[in-house]
Amino acid sequence: MVKKKYVKRYKKKRYRFATIQYRKSKLKRYLFSRKKRLESGIYTLLLSGDKNPTGTESNTTNCPRYTFSTDIPDHYNETYICALPKNPEWMFVYWELGPEYQGSIAEQEKCGSKYVLRTEEFGVKVLNEIFSDAEKPLIVDTEIDARSNECYVRIPYSGKEYTITMGEIKADNEFEPIISTEPFSTAQKSIQNSVDSDWVLFSTDELIDYSADTGSMKETLFSGSGLLSNESGSDKNRYFGSASPD
Amino acid sequence: MTPSIKMPKGYLSLVLHAHLPFVRHPECDYMMEENWLYEALTETYLPLLSIFDNLINDRIPFRLTMSLTPPLCSMLADPLLQERYLKHITKLIELAEKEVDRTGDLPEFNETAQHYLQRFLLCKRMFEYSYAGNILKGFKKFQDLGFLEIITCGATHGYLPNMQLNPNAIRAQIKIAAQSYEAFFDRTPVGIWLPECGYYPGLERFLSEVDIRYFFTETHGVLFADPKPKYGIFAPIFCKGAPVAVFGRDVESSRQVWSTQEGYPGDPNYRDFYRDIGFDLDMDYIAPYIDPIGIRINTGIKYYRITDKGTDKKPYNRDNAMRVAAEHAGNFMFNREKQAEYLSSMMDRPPIIVAPYDAELFGHWWYEGPNWLNFLIRKTAFEQNTISLITPSDYLDSYPTNQIAEPSFSSWGEGGYSDVWLHKSNDWIYRHLHRMEERMVEYARKYPEAGGLLRRTLNQMSRELLLAESSDWAFIMKTGTMVQYAVRRTKEHIANFLRLYDDVKAETIDPNFVSLLESHNNIFPEIDYRVYI
């Protein structure tokens, strides 16, 4: 009886030992293959404790089984420009000049050239091309550092269409364009004067007045700035409930 | 008792915008940001469904509009998140039971503890048994019964005015949203909540391509329309670019709920959001119910009322809070009646007052919000004849002829334009998003008939692009809370996309990487990258 029990225990022990050995060898094989994989530069997925190849730390709160890279380029080696209206008064412009321009910028600056973003009213420019006696297009230049790649530019008049051209103003004041945006429209900041005669009531102005409310909202709405900024904005108290309280 | 059926003087259109960004982390057992969904389920979505159920049981008619965004629907239908919510609510029940015990000798807190326990048990019961884990079934049921009009939103809540440069990117946001809606609700969407109410002239063309009939803008979107809107914001206008109607937000009704100064949610009797036992109780006691590494978080159990602006808070009394919610509902209804009476005297048709709110305001931030809504619907049905609840599509059916005008560029964010999503804290993302959009279109055109692994890769590129476009990341970067997470998510999606792009170019697609991304960022399983052609 005692012997039987001993044999049973022994077998159990052996089995446990074999299992541990098996797991150890499996882990060894696995670590070896992982080492190889990492050495070969293939970072398909990272495991807990692995150093992220991009050097970026994950902020996950408990041992992630893998993380994704957050390494993104600073530039794309392309030439492009883009303008996005922020509000009726400002727009955000970003750009990149490809490698073909990099050398010439330094050279031109030595020669006294400066770089600008030229804001040009679009519709008027077209009219001017068709009718030579049309009014001159509105042009506003904003000087920029050509090595930078973005800036906020003031919009001359809201509600109009513009193009932005990045270019060089040479020592003799001649403008040489480099790259332009597509035409884009900017936001209105006030109630329009135009009326559709089929769609008007005696009370239309009163209804519009009432739509903008009669209190402080009216002042902000009609002044065209700070719209709904303090009272009715939707961006108060949005979700993200687990954030620490203010 | 049956509600009155007299012709009303005006209509009230309540719109709840339910949205959460797509947050799903199979790589971690616990991720704090996933709690956004669990908290919204417990505090907003399930209580709303419960209220709708009770209204139907009491035979009270109502018409509400609710946008359920595609990322939210995807998360609500996701088995992993469903399973995790069940664990979450089970833990909350355990905590609430402990709280009932702990507060046994403190009657002013014990009642509230009992209330939470009952609330959590109800949530679990509804989630597990009534909807088998998928509460979309509940919302669908109320739509099919004719009480709810569910509308869609941008595919991943991308802020559309900042995508103007690339029409294909906008088309993809709209088309994929419409396809996703159809998959969840077995019909096509009649309306859309433009992400952040972001509109620019011309956007309507993309909406009409998927037969969307209406959308909403901030007040000045309609008010600054060209030509001048005949009825102000109290009737829709049709956009110049395509026959899509636009409804403007009513300032007065918005302010009564949203305002931090005058809004109902700031009443001293309502529950204080910021005093949570996750922060108040001893670490040893609360540790199993907060972030496993010991970061304190909101648990949802809060014992104090707003009281006043000071720190000396008084205990929350649920009965008092309910009494105040009923009063506020009555006040809101009274104001809308007066508003409708005044407006109808100036108009040759009944005005429509559009009152949109973030759904998560109701229940999550304003704990009594769903009850307020419940009281409002009941009072509107039984206590007056001046206004009636309506959905925008019902109004368009009754008044199909509307003025044509061009709405103004607008959003409902601070400032009324793009200031929130184009700010020094987040403007860096657009350079990348725009390059990604260009590259996506380039590949969609280059490989119109891709199959196998290439097709899967292109589909995953579409998902990564869409997820990077979500307006939530830019919003979080601007507001300054949880910024690290938003930056990380944005960069991850950009990096994933660019790696896939390079792999396709070099013809070295790594099937393991594609599979990993497919299982991780699994939104829109049926996506077809050719939407970008």
The strand pairing partners of A167, in sequence order, are A116, A177
Residue B453, classified by CB atoms within 10 Å of its CB into exposed (0-12), middle (13-18) or buried (19+), is middle
Contact B299, B260 (CB under 8 A): no
Residues of B in contact with A236 (CB under 8 A): 258, 260
Q: How confident is the model at residue B3 (pLDDT cuts 50, 70, 90)?
A: low
The ipTM is: 0.93
Contact B430, B166 (CB under 8 A): no
A243/B481 touch (CB, cutoff 8 Å), yes or no: yes
pLDDT, tens digit (0-9, with 9 covering 90-100), for B140-161 = 999 999 999 999 999 999 999 9
Give the one of B258, B408, B494 whose C-beta lies nearest to A231's C-beta: B258
The CA distance from A17 to the nearest CA of chain B, in Å, is 31
Q: How confident is the model at residue B5 (pLDDT cuts 50, 70, 90)?
A: low
B273/A64 touch (CB, cutoff 8 Å), yes or no: no
Peptide bond into B265 cis (omega under 30): no
Q: Distance (Å, rounded) from C-alpha B77 to C-alpha B16?
A: 20
Q: Residue A70 corresponds to which tokens in the numbers above?
A: 């957050």
Residues of A in contact with B432 (CB under 8 A): 72
Share of chain A above pLDDT 90, in %: 39
CA distances from B49 to A233, B46, B174, B278, B413 (A): 26, 5, 27, 27, 28
From the list B329, B387, B245, the residue with the least C-alpha distance to B51 is B329
Alpha helices by DSSP H, listed for chain A, are 2-39, 99-110, 122-130, 204-211, 216-223
**Model-level pTM?**
0.88
* CA-only gyration radius of chain B, Å: 24
Number of CB pairs, chain A paired with chain B, less than 8 A apart:
278
The CA distance from B487 to the nearest CA of chain A, in Å, is 9
Q: Does residue B322 or residue A107 have the better pLDDT?
A: B322
B342/A235 touch (CB, cutoff 8 Å), yes or no: no
A94/B494 touch (CB, cutoff 8 Å), yes or no: no
A61/B30 touch (CB, cutoff 8 Å), yes or no: yes
pLDDT, tens digit (0-9, with 9 covering 90-100), for A183-242 = 999 999 899 999 999 999 999 999 999 998 744 444 444 443 333 333 333 443 444 433
Q: Does A79 touch chain B (CB under 8 A)?
A: no
- DSSP 3-state assignment of A205? helix
* Tokens 């998510």, residue located: B489
Q: Distance (Å, rounded) from C-alpha B65 to C-alpha A105?
A: 56
pLDDT, tens digit (0-9, with 9 covering 90-100), for B28-82 = 999 999 999 999 999 999 999 999 999 999 999 999 999 999 999 999 999 999 9
Averaged over A138-157, what is the pLDDT?
91
pLDDT, tens digit (0-9, with 9 covering 90-100), for B87-118 = 999 999 999 999 999 999 999 999 999 999 99
Residues of B in contact with A81 (CB under 8 A): none
A70/B295 touch (CB, cutoff 8 Å), yes or no: no
Q: Distance (Å, rounded) from C-alpha B200 to C-alpha A188?
A: 10
Q: Does B30 touch chain A (CB under 8 A)?
A: yes
Q: How confident is the model at residue A44 (pLDDT cuts 50, 70, 90)?
A: very low
What part of B 385-444 touches A (C-beta under 8 Å)? Answer: 403-405, 408-410, 412-420, 422, 427, 430-432, 434-435
pLDDT at B163 over 50: yes
Give the one of A96, A187, A232 whose C-beta lies nearest to B254's C-beta: A232
Element (H, E) at B256: helix B251-258
Q: Does A171 touch chain B (CB under 8 A)?
A: no
How far is C-alpha B441 from the geometric centre of its chain's CA atoms?
A: 29
pLDDT at A26: 60
The CA distance from B252 to the nearest CA of chain A, in Å, is 7
Q: Distance (Å, rounded) from C-alpha B71 to C-alpha B352?
A: 30
pLDDT at A20: 65
User: Hey, how many other C-beta atoms are within 10 angstroms of the C-beta on A172?
Assistant: 7
Q: Does A195 touch chain B (CB under 8 A)?
A: yes
B31/A61 touch (CB, cutoff 8 Å), yes or no: yes
pLDDT at B218 over 80: yes
Contact B34, B299 (CB under 8 A): no
Q: Does B201 touch chain A (CB under 8 A)?
A: yes
A84/B418 touch (CB, cutoff 8 Å), yes or no: yes
